[in-house]
Amino acid sequence: MNDENLQIRNCADCKHRKTCCDVQPCDKYEYDYTAHHALSQNGFEERCRAIAEHYGYQKQRIQTIQELSELTCLLARRPDQIAKMDYHAELIGEIADVTIMLEQLRLMFGIEKAELADAIRQKLKRQNQRIRQEGQSDVKDRSAQN
């Protein structure tokens, strides 16, 4: 599977769609994985693999928990209580740490990119269906109140 297939494209579930998912991305929900492309071209997977092999599963499992915890703690803080630039920079750093750890887990468990991309697509599709249903129930709720 090439990197172009990793793009979240317009699908039948997107109410903002213009064309079929295999033709053009949705204008509203387009996501081009630019960072993913840049990381792939700079040896992201190879570097993550080397780190995972060096430290092994047990150490990286604990490191993943720690990085996820740091991101969770940062998200629990209110951004208005912190200098905006500091929060933004910290958030980028924590997301980067978690991304690196998740890539190591993907590699250690032998999860193929295509397999992960399929799971992501299914979850996005399911969430988009929920959003549509919530929108429909909102309309019903408002009409019941009138």
Q: What is the mean pLDDT of residues 46-57?
A: 96
Nearest to 45 by CA among 123, 121, 119, 112: 112
Q: What is the mean pLDDT of residues 110-115?
A: 95
pTM of the predicted protein model = 0.66
Token pair in block for residue 94: 């924590």
Which pLDDT belongs to residue 99?
A: 97
Nearest to 17 by CA among 6, 8, 26, 9: 26
Considering all CA atoms of the chain, what is the largest pairwise distance in Å, rounded to the nearest integer?
64
Token pair in block for residue 57: 């599963």
Q: Are 101 and 127 in contact (CB under 8 A)?
A: no
pLDDT surpassing 50 at residue 10: no
Residue 39: pLDDT band (50, 70, 90) is low
Token pair in block for residue 95: 């997301």
What are the structural domains of the chain? 1-32 (no CATH), 44-124 (1.10.287)
The one-character DSSP state at 33 is: -
